[in-house]
Structure 1
């Protein structure tokens, strides 16, 4: 995980009140990537733009790289992978989107 500044964590904590409603903001900010993923998945344009400007493309890409199964729908997974492409990938018009993360469930038969 990439390090986040106090000001970035403050914005994440504020957004967690809306997007991680099942936890207190203090609990939610302990897993900032979960909050960021939830905003990427469900956020309003304003909230998503605020967060993107605060933490940057690199953190959004890192959230995708460390995502856990269930954090993203296929639509937003594809969208954010295209948005977070490197400059080189954009110039070459590469759309290399990895598969969504999957849960590894034990075989119980």
Structure 2
């Protein structure tokens, strides 16, 4: 009998978060249950999108969307949810991070 594979899409809505976004992304990509990390840059005036792209771990799980007009975090999250393929969604603020084992503990 095979164990059910839990796959989570982590959504990070970001505006002018260049100083913190890399830590947020790294904490999500570190978790084996994370199948997708979607960063939505909500029309930042700093280099949030470039910093986010540079945090890619090469696993193919990170995507970065950029909105040209600021629409707010709800719009940004909904845009990411619409494109997600994972059965579970988790929201992470751009200035926050997951503690190691977050999803293992949650699914247990």
Normalised by the length of structure 2, the TM-score is 0.27
Bigger proportion of residues as strand: 2
Higher relative contact order at CA 8 Å, sep ≥6: structure 1 or structure 2? 2
Bigger proportion of residues as helix: 1
Normalised by the length of structure 1, the TM-score is 0.27
Larger gyration radius, structure 1 or structure 2: 1
